[in-house]
Structure 1
Amino acid sequence: MAVILIVDDDTAFRTTLAETLDDLGYEVRQAGSCEAGLRRLADGGIDLAIVDLRLPGEDGLAFLRAAADAAPGLPCIVLTAYASGSNTIEAMRLGAFDHLTKPLGRDALAEALRRALNASRPAPAAPAGAAPEAEHLVSNSEVMRAIFKRIGLVADSDNTVLVLGETGTGKELVAQALHANSGRAAAPFVAVNCAAIPAELLESELFGHVKGAFSGAAADRLGRFREADGGTLFLDEIGDMPLSMQAKILRVLQEREVTPVGARHALPVDLRVVAATHRDLEAEVTEGRFRADLWYRLQVITIMLPPLRERGDDVALLAAHFLRQQAQGRHKHLSAAALTALQAYDWPGNVRELRNTMLRAIALSEGDLIEPGHLGLGAVRAWATTPSPSVPVAGDGAAIDWDGPLQDAVEQLESFMLRRALEAAGGNRSEAARHLGLSRQQLYRKLAQYDLE
């Protein structure tokens, strides 16, 4: 008969849980604090611990750290009524077998116990002062909680990670969470948008160059790989990388060395690579647009991010999060009708589009109450989906004439998208360029072309 230790300061919950475990055929030990739980653990004979995250004094994470030394390999299941991306990731990184939310269903508990007792694994130690930095990964959905757990499990390894998902789902936030919860957290996190850098400049951007390597190379340049030495390099939109560059990236992943443009010798680098794309790389390989050997090398660990439309009640949670984050001390809140409108929308632009929508609503609402008209969703949906021959694209009534000259339609669409990206970025041109998949130079040229400077 397995012996299970319950560490929870809620006496009523602890008693009820003990009765359930007794009914399931387990022997139970109880403790009301981290310190008491560790004393019980020191007595020996414990096969599994169920630990509440919030405890008086030291918390459940402190129990995990201490248990890693006191009872290596002890499976621990962490409980909380206040799940977040950061505490889930941290618990899993510290070696928790699972992270469950209260209240617990009997069947779910029984299954978790069966899996934990059948597959106990050593819990990795972590520095006591390590603090997660994944607060922007916000979700209450089960599908995202599974991703938080996966991040926590793999964060401390140096394995290459491939993050897949539609545009705007938060792939860079996953990369940042992997870095922040790893042993490389104190070293640089360097992000490169492969789609925003012209192909002829990408090699120098990534690998660096030596002075005189080409016209304009007036000094040595490290390159992003060497800038990330010791830390993490995030290659965003790697599916847009030219085939010629893919071969060079593959060599870096295999050999862990880079050769700057114009240099004669390779230089070693110590870093972790996280790559991301919204493209279907398997289809890209089939079509000959992506190297099969690089694809295999990238997918050591794969994390698939779901679109926002598949994330349950996360729209309301994220909207409230963005209001708190962006309202600059003003107590903005959504009306019932505005919340209904947000939940009814299908969010083709995912979390990024929701964030931009809340920024727009904050700017357009004069008082503290945000109404449906402040969201601007109707105009966006009409522009994106209306099959009529003339579709509004701007607040001034400008429209695309679908039966007119192609060049005129392209110019109207480009002008609208440029204004919209700049507005969403609060005038930050670098962020607007990144959102549009343009280099800064390309953005500046187009702003001048449409007199938007």
Structure 2
Amino acid sequence: MTRKVLLVEDDRAIATVIVEALLDEGFKVTTCASIAKRDELLAHDRFDLMLTDIMLEDGDGLDTVSRVRENAPAMPIIVLSAQNTLDTAIRASDSEAFEYFPKPFDLDELTRAVHQATSRSRTTLSEERDGESTELPLIGRSRAMQDVYRMITRVLRNDLTVLVTGESGTGKELVAEAIHQLGSRRTGPFLAVNMAAIPRDLLESELFGHERGAFTGAHSQSIGKFEQANGGTLFLDEIGDMPAEAQTRLLRALQSGRIRRVGGRQEIAVDVRIVAATNRDLAPMIRDGRFREDLFYRLNVVPIHLPPLRDRKDDLGALIRHFLAEAREQGLSHHTIDDDAVLRLSFHDWPGNVRELRNFVFRMSLMAREERIDENLVADLLPQKAESDAACEDSAFESALNDWLARNAATQGTVYHQALAAFEKPLIEHALRETQGNQFRAAQFLGINRNTLRKKLSELAIRPEVFVQRT
């Protein structure tokens, strides 16, 4: 039986691409560009799936999902949107969407999601979010952040344990706060514990509490973070710094849902959601026996990886504006920033990630004498690279090109095309290695159209599947 898809999209180019892809997969596709026409079609026909944009010519597609449910309560919905914020992802989740795709999206991923959605019945989410307004802590519309948002929305209606990984300063605690604030435990407490900041001999007491007289200095009973976070979320930051003996007790608590205070005999039931985080690679620590493998699997039920700022520089402008507003709230002068200044900041690698950027924006806001921050101020305040490092970076490509020219007697008038042919294939292969064979991300990395990349793959006999990491 042919499965029928309703596509609600007012961008003709995007609609054409989706329709062609779904027709090739054997779907029957009906299209419209407005909420009014959508409602008319749903009132007179039955569809197996609806694909819908959010911002349509006559309103917001998500605001009117309740009308869709009146005519098709069990029909899966896939949401497409160019409004790529965490708020949009949450709204899509609240509308019980089967999946959410930020634009631009991977057409192959979208096609797979359509197959999945039409091959199984929709599961209704039992709990509705209340109408309270929550200030969302994560900022960014880059492709990398869209993946983070989509993973967050998938854990809001359950209590699965989450492991957040990423470099220092990327905002791992903000992910934990978002999961708590937007999830089913938002009315409960949120507590954070930094494993690296607590002395080893006090960590178990901090987590599980202690009884009076349990050790020297324990003059009274103390309630640990697990009991304090009962009914809420406990964020275990820098989990890779947890000592082995504490790892054993944490594993037991996660397995049984019960803890015992240090020096105590009574087991206490606790209802706590765990979100853990680390900036370390736990795999070699497991191999070396420094981190328990069974604890890793208990924590890594849902992995969320936060990208470093150097991999999401499309978000720089939004982050800078946010931090300028934050600086203003803390008593600094009102400032705006030139596009050229933002561009200049994009050339910095930001090893300290978002935390470094925030501190830099506050420094700019303090030092700026004019309301508008320009490129000159940015250049004055940016840390300067060591001359040797800069020279190494600047000369790397030049050295490779000179080596090639020395080895190849290029005919006058053909140097450009010969050099391009020599460097094009390794450049594309490098992009595929960096993106683990993902053609959409590789095209973004290179700054070319995906169709252009596909054409080049065919011309140069490059097999992208070779670069896919196998698990």
TM-score normalised by the chain length of structure 1: 0.73
Match of 1:28 in 2: 30
Write the mapping of 1:40-55 to structure 2, written as runs, cut at 5 A.
Answer: 41=42, 45-54=46-55
What secondary structure does 1:77 align onto? strand
Alpha-carbon spacing, 1:176–1:67, altered in 2? closer, same or farther (3 Å)? farther
Alpha-carbon spacing, 1:171–1:316, altered in 2? closer, same or farther (3 Å)? same
Q: Does 1:324 align with 2:325?
A: yes
**1:317 Cα offset (Å):** 2.4
What secondary structure does 1:195 align onto? helix
Match of 2:272 in 1: 271
Match of 1:75 in 2: 76
Q: Deviations over 1:77-118 (max 9, x none)?
A: 213332211221341354323323457898776565445434
Alpha-carbon spacing, 1:164–1:132, altered in 2? closer, same or farther (3 Å)? farther
What secondary structure does 2:307 align onto? coil
Instruction: For 2:296 and 2:105, locate their aligned partners in 1 and report how far apart those are by CA, in whole Å.
Output: 40
Q: Deviations over 1:2-36 (max 9, x none)?
A: 3333557xxx54898489648936242658448x8
- Unmatched 5+ residue regions in structure 2? 392-471
Match of 1:180 in 2: 181
**1:224 Cα offset (Å):** 0.7
Match of 2:347 in 1: 344
Q: Does 1:368 align with 2:374?
A: no
Contact 1:162 1:300 in 2 (8 A): yes
Deviates more, 1:190-199 or 1:102-111: 102-111
Letter in structure 2 aligned against 1:147: V
Contact 1:232 1:274 in 2 (8 A): yes
What secondary structure does 1:246 align onto? helix
Alpha-carbon spacing, 1:132–1:346, altered in 2? closer, same or farther (3 Å)? farther
**1:372 Cα offset (Å):** 4.8
Write the mapping of 1:386-401 to structure 2, written as runs, cut at 5 A.
Answer: none
TM-score normalised by the chain length of structure 2: 0.71
**1:215 Cα offset (Å):** 3.7
**1:331 Cα offset (Å):** 3.8
Alpha-carbon spacing, 1:33–1:26, altered in 2? closer, same or farther (3 Å)? same
Instruction: For 1:297 and 1:382, locate their aligned partners in 2 and report how far apart those are by CA, in whole Å.
Output: 44
Alpha-carbon spacing, 1:205–1:61, altered in 2? closer, same or farther (3 Å)? farther
**1:382 Cα offset (Å):** 4.9
- Unmatched 5+ residue regions in structure 1? 388-453
Letter in structure 1 aligned against 2:292: R
Q: Deviations over 1:336-363 (max 9, x none)?
A: 4432331000111111111111111111
**1:172 Cα offset (Å):** 0.8
Letter in structure 1 aligned against 2:383: A
Q: Does 1:213 align with 2:214?
A: yes
Match of 1:255 in 2: 256
What secondary structure does 1:327 align onto? helix
**Please, what is the CA RMSD of the aligned residues?**
3.5
Instruction: For 1:286 and 1:258, locate their aligned partners in 2 and report how far apart those are by CA, in whole Å.
Output: 28
Deviates more, 1:323-332 or 1:354-363: 323-332
Alpha-carbon spacing, 1:204–1:102, altered in 2? closer, same or farther (3 Å)? closer
Contact 2:137 2:178 in 1 (8 A): no
Alpha-carbon spacing, 1:94–1:243, altered in 2? closer, same or farther (3 Å)? farther
Letter in structure 1 aligned against 2:189: P
Match of 2:383 in 1: 379
Letter in structure 2 aligned against 1:245: A
Letter in structure 2 aligned against 1:350: N
Q: Does 1:143 align with 2:144?
A: yes
Instruction: For 2:240 and 2:83, locate their aligned partners in 1 and report how far apart those are by CA, in whole Å.
Output: 37
Letter in structure 2 aligned against 1:280: D
